[in-house]
Structures are given as C-alpha cells and as structure tokens.
Chain A
Amino acid sequence: MDHTSDPTAARWPVDPDRLDLVQEFRHRIRGPHSPDLQKLIARLRWGPIAGRYVVLTLETGRRWMLARQRAERGEKLELFENHVFTSLEDAEWEVFKRRWEEATGRRLKEDGTAW
C-alpha cells in the first residue's frame, strides 16, 4: 500500500511523560509548534478512518459538534451531542485529549495536566 493510504504508516513514539508537549499544544493550538510537537500531532492525526474524530459544522464559522466516523460506508456518523463547540480551538483540544488517552492510556484534565 502506498504511504499516504496506509493507516499504519505514521511512525513516532508517543511518550506519555511528555506533558510539556501537551501544555504547548494547550496554550498554542494553532501553532507555530516545536518540532517534537509537530511530530506528535502528526502521529495522533494518522490512523484508520473507522473511529476517526471529526467535527460536524452546525453553523458555518460558529458551531461544531464532535463526531466520529464508523467502519462501513453508509453507517451513520456517530454524534456526540453533548460536545458542541463555539470555537474550533476547543474542538481541536477535545480531539487531542481523546487521542492522547487512546495513545498513552492516560487521561488529561481540562488544563492539560495529568489526572
């Protein structure tokens, strides 16, 4: 499979102790980011379509709902109706926290520190 189609093609070890990178992202979601944070974000953003977090635009430029894609074409988008954002940065942060937990097994608090 070619490199941009293979969901396992991303390689970068996610270090669960690098909370400094979490803090950097928390405070500067849009960047610019340090080289290590760029690689961490790139790693977290790469994976299979099934289970990928996205946001559904409810009002252009104003409101978005967290959602997740499913495995098969034609299946309904999984909607998280209690996660509606009025800022895309809030949405990015929510997705980052969820992916961090999936990658490290550790939950993050809202301020980006460890539980």
Chain B
Amino acid sequence: MVIETNLILGYPDTLSVAAGERIRFHLSTEVGAVDARIVRLRCADADASGPGLRYRGVASAIDGRHDCPDQRLRAGSCAIVDDGGGLAPRGAFSVGCFAWPTRPTAAPQTLMSRWCGASGIGWSLEITRDGGLRLTVGDGARRVTIEAGAALETRAWYWFSASLDLEGGRAAIHQIRLADHYRPDAEVTAAGDLAGLDGIDSGGPLVIAGRAAELAPLWFEGHFDGRIEAPRMLARWAGAGELSALAVPDRSAVADPDLLAFWDFADGIDTLRVTDRSPWRHDGRLHQMPTRAVTGRRWSGRYHDWRLAPQEYAAIHFHTDDLADCGWDPVLTLDVPADWRSGLYALRLQPADRAVAPGEEPVAESFVMFFVTPAKGRAMAPLVVVAAAATYVAYANSALRLYHVHFERLTEAVLQLTMDDKYLLEHPELAQSTYDSHVDGSGRAYSSWRRPILNMRPRANPFNLVTDTHFLDWLEEKGIDYDMITDIELDREGVRALAPYRAAVTLSHPEYYSEAMMQALLSWQNQGGRHLCLGANGFYWRCGFHPQAPHVLEVRRGISGTRTWESAPGEVHLAGTGEPGSLWRHSGFAPQKLVGAGFAAMVYDRPGWFLRMPDGRDPRAAFIVEGIAEGERIGDFGVRIGGAVGIEIDRYDLDLGTPRHALLVATSEGLGPGSLPSPEEFRTTVHGLDGEQNALVRADMVFFETAGGGAVFTTGSISYVLSLSCNGYDNNVSRLTENVLRRFLDPEPFAMPA
C-alpha cells in the first residue's frame, strides 16, 4: 500500500532545540485537522534489507488532535520599498533600470511597479518574451497598455524605462539592447495615450521584480527572472538618454532636485536591504532572498571578489522560484522538557480522521524532523553525535533525479521516482536544493530550512539523514549512550559546542562546512577531543549561513569539484560573508588536514571492501584492528549498497595535508570501472582514470593522534555505516567501529609519536 507522505507538510522554526527550550512547527494541510505525536528515531531507513523504520513515541504536551490551516506557499523574490506615498508624484515622472532577462515568458514579468492587482490601480513596467517592454497603467476603471513590440534576447543587458505624464495624457517607453562585444545599441520606443486616466496611486509599496497582487494581506505576483541594476525614479518627463545617464549621486554634488530614488545595489551586498542613494532615502527590503554578489553590466573581469569592486557587482539576480521562508503561521509549539534525552526526534502527523493505532500501517503520515540537543550546560554523555545539518539543508529537496540529463546514465537504470519525487516535480514552489538550478538555469546558491523538506524525513530517498541513522541504530543496539548536536551548533557556538565531550562522531557525509565549523572541530581535536569520522566527502564545500538569514545556507560552486552547476565567472565569493566559496581544498584547508582523508572518487557500479595495510600492525593501531585478521575482507557486505566501500570515497594524501604521523590502517579493494575520480583530482584527461586502473581511486582508513591527547579516525566511505547492522550487528565493520569508539571514550590520553 502507498503511504501518502505529503498530505500534511511542515517545517520547524529551528532544526535543533535544546532540552528545556521551545520549538514551533509551521504546518499546512487540506485535511483540516491533524493527529500529532512526538517520536524519537532510531532508524529512518525504511529499506527492508536493513534495520527498517524504527522509532518510539515520546509523550508530549502537543500529542493529540489539532486544527491545522491550509497555508499558501508563494515563491518568487522581489525588493519592496514602503514609500509611504513618497513615490507617488502628482505630476509627470519617469522610471527605469538596467536589466538582464534570463527567462522572458509569454506572461509578463515585472521590472518595477507601484501597482495593486486587486484594485487595478497603479503602474507596472514589465517585459514579455515576444513583445519586449510594456507599461501598464490603470486607475481602477480603465487600463492602458503600451508595448515596445520587439522580442527580447535572453541574457543580454538592456535599458528599460518609461515616462508618464497624466496631466498631459501621454506616456512613452524605451527599450535599448545595450551594445555588446560585436553589436551597437538597438533602441525601440513606443508611445501611448493616457488621456482620461485619473489617479494612479496604488496606495501600496513600490516593488522591484514583482508587483503586488493584493495589499492586505500583501503578496506578490508577476515576478522576474534575471538581473536588475540601478533602478531609479525621476519626478519629471525624461527620455531614455537623460534617465539612463543618471549616476549614483556623489556626496559632494548637488543631486538632481527631481531625483526621487536611485537604488544602488552595490551598497549592502551582504545584507537583505536595498539602499536608495537619493536624498529621500527610500530604502527597501528584499523578499525571498534573490541572489546578490552577482556581476553587473559593468563587470570588467579584473576582480572576482565583490568586496574589492562593489560597483561591478551592482546587480541583483531575482528568480520567480526563489524561496527563503514560507512564512506560514506556527500551528504547534512544543516546550521540550528539560529531561528529554538528546537525539533525533520528529513530529509525526496523520490526518485526524484517519489516524491509526501504533503498529498499524498508516494511510497518510508525515514527519517534521528536529534534533534535541542537551539542555544548556548539561551534556549527559561523553559521546556526541554531530548531525550534518548544513549538508541536509544543502541537499534539501534535491531534484537531481528530476532535472539532470545525465542522471539515468549515472545510475545505469531507469529512474525510480518516489511519491515524494512526484510531489516535488509537481510542486516546484517548494524550491529545490543547492544541487539544482532555478527555472532560468542559474544555479541555486541558497537553501533554507524554513520550508517543507521532503528528503529529510523517514522513508525519503536514502541519503544523508536517512543513511546517518544507521549509526544511531547501531549505538542503540550496542547500548552506548550519546548526546546529539548538529553542525549548526558548531557554526554558532564554535568549539564550546564540543568542549563537554570526550569523543564525537561525524556521520556518512558532512560535506558542507563553514569556517566556524571547521575551526571548531580542528581546535577540539587539538585540545584532546577524539573524532570518529564515519563517512566520506566531508568538509568539502566552503559555505556559510547568511548572517542576516541564519536559516539560509549559501553555496557557490566554482573552480572545480564535483558540482551539478558552476558559478558564473566572478561569482565564487559568498554574498553573506564575502569569503571565497568553492572547495575547502581551494582555500588551503583540504579535508585531509582535518581528518586525514579527503574526497577521491564516486562509486557508481559495484562497491568494494577494506583490507588491512602494513600500518595496521603498528602498535598504535592495534586497538583498531583487534580481532580482525590481515587479509580479512572488512565490509564486503552492506545494506542496499552491498559493501562498506561505496557511494563516495576519500583517500590519504600527505601533499593535501594528511598529518605526517598518520597511519594508513586499511585501504579499499574491489572497485571497478564505475569508480571515477572527482574533477579536482586530475589535471588533464587520460585513459584509465577509473577505479580498476587508478590507484588513487580508493577509500583509506586513517588514524592519527593529536598533541593534546586527542585522536582522529576516518573510514573514508559513505556506505561504511550501512554495513553496521549486517548479520545481526555481528560483523567486522561493527567490531572495528566498536574497537575505536570504546578506546576513544577511554579517558587515557593518546600520545603523539615523537
């Protein structure tokens, strides 16, 4: 039977909450009422070949039936200027901007407007694919539209403007495709008659890259795909030449007395504000996070860091499918009891009229995941599991399977879509992941957790969180007590988040790490912490949560690396923090420096296993391989994948920073032609780069001690944790993991070799 997983959707206000603190759930459904339960999860992987979906109910104050509204989800970014009537001049006025349309459509997309759709009052400067620029003016009774009648090119810079004179009963519009590297300017103008129109003050805000559909509640439509630069407004009739020639007013100069606004997007690139450089200061705010730190029409190529030449980055890239915050009303609020065990929890939701008893197969069931961290200052266990929350957000609503041409060839099988995939395909307004592209083809630089995330739930496509729970399942099976935090705590609290613990485990794929997260782990390891790193392709992308939108992760994909889109030239630096995005390897902090091994290859065909290496005989490594013979295949089994070496794998490399004293305890064997290196691993193409012929395509188990009595052990493979439960948890991957963990929990300091 198919379980309906998307009848009720929701998201928490925070992904992790400390015991004793509050979390709010923003929910929406068409069914009217929901049955809510809190559960603590042990395994979120429903695959019948593994432990299966395992959770238990935890009695809470919000258990039971609740009315739940059906809340709207509207994607599309814009800038909103609440002008208080200051941008509704009585006489003639002109508006204009530079723009770079990326997906003009038959339906109009709005550049600038001061319009109310409900009343039909105001003006709206728009484009359409085939007609080019058009101006719509309405007084509620009558509407006039003037169109340039010249089709638009995609990804070309234009000047667009309009002048309106209600008293004179006239309007004119100007569309100029700007000269590029082989063509001169191309101008089209059109004029229209506004006679009889009376009163076009919408009463609402001026909006850039959208128009108000209604003013109360305020919401927007007619969004724009593309870049807008230097929008301005002048309180007189002005031609395109005069209006486009206006520049950011100098501090020492007297501004044009008719200048009502000049929004300079080069100002505050790391903010969610837009600055009006006119004396009137009609500053605005960004809605749904369009992308900043993108090149404008004046980008010279001399600078690749927007902080060095902000005027070359004076554009904002708006998208019709941007989504940073659904903005749903909270429906349930949970005060997490201070005595709850730390761990992975979920709000389990069923339609109230179809809720089933525990143990029965549900008809419809949804989960909203969250992590309960220990009460502040009250770490409960010597072991902490660090969930890769930043990575879960980076992959949130990944639509790789749905929109990538190469995906079926990559998996070498007809694509199997789940009901979640179908829902995501049919509801693009949920917004996809940082692996996906916007509808206009530009890469998604932002991903937010304030929206329903379909692939961060039990029964989701098994990757990241679902895979990671195999280790929680193993800990529960072994009766090993643990606390749980996320890497967001590392980002916000630094090493303080790790300080109470003797040992920490990072899971199958902690790929996205901010600078604060990297430094927290490094510092803690050097202070004596023991880091058991059970995955691969970790600590790979340099990324950041946006300082002014802490629920939004920003990623830029440049230079090299395995990536499904590539940042445009000059756009590798993050807008939020200014730091260079791309791989940590390109910032001189390859994963090998932190954990001894770093990304080597992807495994598309058969998995492999580990074999002990000569370093495994070193007395320093004896505790790791105790009970495992030389020549014994470690992990030639595993749930779903079939082997402990699979999916993505990491290797030891002294040049990239593996510590000199690190031991190569074991390495992989058995990989085939479907194991292929990541692009940053080779400098030219050559035959034989695959795992059958290339010795650098491998997974390495690495161990090293740190000066402060700490230690690091890395397994170098994403599929490693999928082997833990095989044969009733009695296997050599389980044994080796327990060997390391027991020693890591022993207070006896590790000694770094001389």
- Taking beta carbons and an 8 Å cutoff, which residues of A are in contact with B? 2, 4-7, 9, 41-42, 45-49, 52-61, 64, 67, 69, 73-77, 88, 91-92, 95
Q: Assess whether B418 is interfacial by the CB under 8 Å rule.
A: yes
**CB <8 Å contact, B405 and A4:** yes
Residues on the B chain within 8 Å of A41, using CB: 412
19 contacts between A and B (CB under 8 A): A5-B405, A5-B406, A46-B406, A46-B408, A46-B409, A47-B405, A48-B405, A52-B408, A55-B416, A55-B417, A56-B416, A56-B418, A60-B47, A67-B417, A73-B439, A74-B427, A77-B417, A77-B425, A91-B414
**CB <8 Å contact, A60 and B48:** yes
Which residue among A2, A5, A95 has the maximum number of chain B CB atoms within 10 Å of its CB? Answer: A5
Please give the number of chain B residues whose Cβ is less than 8 angstroms from any Cβ of chain A in the complex.
29
The distance from the CB of B490 to the nearest CB of chain A, in whole angstroms, is: 33
Which residue among B48, B409, B418 has the maximum number of chain A CB atoms within 10 Å of its CB? Answer: B409
The distance from the CB of A69 to the nearest CB of chain B, in whole angstroms, is: 7
**CB <8 Å contact, B408 and A45:** yes
The distance from the CB of A102 to the nearest CB of chain B, in whole angstroms, is: 15
Interface of chain A, helix or strand or loop or mixed? loop
A49–B429 alpha-carbon span in the complex (Å) = 19
Closest to A99 in B: B414
**CB <8 Å contact, B413 and A92:** yes
**CB <8 Å contact, B422 and A56:** yes
Residues on the A chain within 8 Å of B406, using CB: 4-5, 46
**CB <8 Å contact, A55 and B427:** no
The distance from the CB of A75 to the nearest CB of chain B, in whole angstroms, is: 7
Residues on the B chain within 8 Å of A92, using CB: 413-414
Cβ contact of B419, chosen from A45, A46, A52, A57, cutoff 8 A? A57
**CB <8 Å contact, A57 and B418:** yes
A2–B567 alpha-carbon span in the complex (Å) = 13
Interface string of B492-511 (1 = CB under 8 A from A): 00000000000000000000
Q: Assess whether B426 is interfacial by the CB under 8 Å rule.
A: yes
Closest to B423 in A: A77
**CB <8 Å contact, A55 and B405:** no
**CB <8 Å contact, A46 and B48:** no
**CB <8 Å contact, B418 and A55:** no
Q: Assess whether B83 is interfacial by the CB under 8 Å rule.
A: no
Residues on the A chain within 8 Å of B321, using CB: 73
**CB <8 Å contact, A54 and B48:** no
- Taking beta carbons and an 8 Å cutoff, which residues of B are in contact with A? 1-2, 46-48, 321, 402-406, 408-409, 412-419, 422, 425-429, 439, 566
**CB <8 Å contact, A95 and B414:** yes
Cβ contact of B428, chosen from A60, A74, A95, cutoff 8 A? A74
The distance from the CB of A30 to the nearest CB of chain B, in whole angstroms, is: 9
Q: A61-B48, A74-B426, A77-B426 are in contact. Are A88 and B416 (CB under 8 A)?
A: yes
A5–B442 alpha-carbon span in the complex (Å) = 13
**CB <8 Å contact, B46 and A60:** yes
The distance from the CB of B672 to the nearest CB of chain A, in whole angstroms, is: 11
Cβ contact of B414, chosen from A42, A46, A54, cutoff 8 A? A54
Residues on the B chain within 8 Å of A53, using CB: 414
Residues on the A chain within 8 Å of B426, using CB: 74-77
Taking A46-B405, A57-B418 as known contacts, 20 extra A-B pairs with beta carbons closer than 8 A to each other, sorted by chain A number, are: A4-B404, A5-B406, A6-B405, A47-B405, A48-B405, A49-B405, A52-B408, A53-B414, A54-B415, A56-B416, A56-B417, A56-B422, A58-B2, A59-B1, A69-B402, A73-B439, A74-B426, A75-B426, A76-B426, A88-B416
**CB <8 Å contact, B428 and A49:** no
A87–B428 alpha-carbon span in the complex (Å) = 30
Which residue among B412, B414, B419 has the maximum number of chain A CB atoms within 10 Å of its CB? Answer: B414
**CB <8 Å contact, B416 and A64:** yes
**CB <8 Å contact, A2 and B566:** yes
Closest to A2 in B: B566
The distance from the CB of A93 to the nearest CB of chain B, in whole angstroms, is: 10
A58–B417 alpha-carbon span in the complex (Å) = 9
**CB <8 Å contact, A42 and B416:** no
A52–B321 alpha-carbon span in the complex (Å) = 23
Residues on the A chain within 8 Å of B47, using CB: 60
